[in-house]
Structure 1
């Protein structure tokens, strides 16, 4: 693989959270990022593909476009696929999974197109084809143009590699990072989640503040590609750095199991010394010592847990405690119903864009510093 060659790189984000991911991509120094539906486009050499997987907190996957050609019928697709330089990227001894989509093209049968590509790879390169392979090659045929991309991440990037215990309706780490960024969190200042579940917001904030790369604890699909050099990758991982946070990262929950899970997850993530988790109801939460920071919370919505009447009382109690005890703190609340947000009586700004969270449409509601 030519180390100087540059590629189109697509960084996936939940629809509605493309802009905070674009801000992170700019902050991390990637070239000419552009927010588009479903993610952020950028461009760079293969080293930037690896770095994106390692350091980006909000990206769900890192896809790389490796080439393509026009084709208007299956025979042409087959012929040109057999001339494609698969060996520049794929190894003959590594299984590959092929996926295909067709839109507005003369080739309209995605299954038939997939079969042609599988056969071309198997017969010209010798690589085994498997629908369960970790390495995924994606074919997109749109307006008769065939484009090939590789998912270099493998497992989705919210699977950091150190969070084993999860509670009900868990917030994905990538989504938690993007909501934190939307709330203005930049790795400094305290964060508190009064309904922390398995600790996603608290642990993500603590890792961010400690300068720990989110991809430090896991493997990636790119390790199975041609040209991967373990020594160079290890050097990149070692250079990701680390620092001591300037604040505490606090979570509480009335459920003892959630607190136990949060503490275990924080320990595996290497941030337990910066986090405090306490079992207590919302009515007992208090700000930690020091300067004001951010309260961020993802309460039950009713679609999964409980009924609207009971939930409005819960939201009302949360709002009352925050108003009375958290002067100077900003609040970020994620919920599916505006009526639940209003039940807090907090001074929310206009809500953020709609975001799909596990099949439920949610929005982020933010306040200025409480008075």
Structure 2
């Protein structure tokens, strides 16, 4: 695992939002970002793996592809897995777990494939195998081609380590950041979320404007890999500093909700994220929503969907009130709204463009509806 070695790095994305993550990777200066099913590939050395975990807001996790070979049966898989330079990748004193998936291959038993890789790691390197190990090796055998990757993130990257309090059905930070980007948000305008829940959209938007890295406060699985350079990582993590001076940001980020508990959660989460001074959270209903002073920007929200039978019927008045409020008071503002129901989006009366393709979130197929600036 040479620090300057060039490998393929896979950025996992929510299916349907791969192109948005590719735009982010390109904007952050990563090399050769390419959209593939389920994510984006880039090229680089291990420092680029670290930087991807630290800087990318939309990736769910970062996989380093460390080996690739053909295997037509389990004995061949065993033999070729033993030739992988595990000592350059893993540490013999750190437990490892292996997950395998097989598709369209003569090796079809994923459990047996995982056992062969586990045996190779244990016998060639000496590392212990554990079902709850933080370091995970992922094996994919597709059309007899075996690709071995290391999950360098550990916990999913939506866990920024700032949001302890969450409301019902919170949207993940990674998904929120991609939806913000899909709405054209780049950190240069105010954002309003009138159904803010635990404050995810508002906090993500404020962090983007402040230039704060999403991974600044958490640890990653790559810190347990062979060849990890703690000093180089500390220098990289500190290079971004504390973001831009909040005094330079002339606009703010606003969240409101009719639930007092949601407002308390949002304020606490913003405080932990270090952007409380850029945010305002207030308790009130949709009908009391008014635009803040200053230039227009983006209104974005993740309202209730009503996924149980009959629930959505009770939500039409809420969506209707949301649309009427924005049409009457928010001229010049763009709108982004996440919902699972086209009928609820239509109930707003807002001039939405055709939505994104449905995206899975917590087992629910959701869509992002967007408008141009309201007249």
Aligned to 1:197: 197
How far off is 1:304 after superposition? 5.7
**Structure 1 residue 309: Cα displacement:** 2.3
1:305 CA drift (Å):
9.9
Q: Post-superposition shift, 1:246?
A: 3.4
Which string of whole-angstrom CA distances, capped at 9 and with x for unpartnered residues, describes residues 120-160 of structure 1?
Answer: 11111110001111110011112222111000000000000
Equivalent residue, structure 2, for 1:33: 33
Counterpart CA distance in 1 for 2:133 and 2:316 is 46
Superposed CA offset, 1:175-207 (max 9, x none): 000000000000111000000000000000000
Whether contact under 8 Å (1:300, 1:306) holds in the other structure is no
Q: CA deviation at 1:3?
A: 2.1
- Residue ranges of structure 1 left out of the alignment (5+ in a row): none
- What residue is the counterpart of 1:16 in the other structure? 16
1:347 aligns with 2:351: yes
Matched, 1:330 2:341: no
Which whole-Å deviations, capped at 9, do the CAs of 1:47-73 have from their partners, x for residues lacking one? Answer: 111000000010000011001222211
Name the structure 2 match of 1:92. 92
SS of residue matched to 2:269: helix
Q: For residues 173 and 250 of structure 2, what CA distance do their matches in structure 1 show? A: 21
Equivalent residue, structure 1, for 2:294: 290
The residue number in structure 1 matching 2:284 is: 280
Q: Which runs of 5+ in 2 are unaligned?
A: none
- Give the TM-score taking structure 2 as reference length: 0.97
Alignment of 1:224 onto 2:224: yes
The count of residues paired between Structure 1 and Structure 2 equals 371
The Cα offsets for residues 73-104 of structure 1, whole Å up to 9 and x where unpaired, read as 11121122222210010000000010111111
Match of 2:183 in 1: 183
Where do 4+ consecutive residues of structure 1 move more than 6 Å?
none
Counterparts of 1:1-371 in structure 2, within 5 Å, are 1-241=1-241, 242-243=243-244, 244=246, 245-303=249-307, 307-371=311-375
| 1-structure distance, mates of 2:309, 2:192 | 22
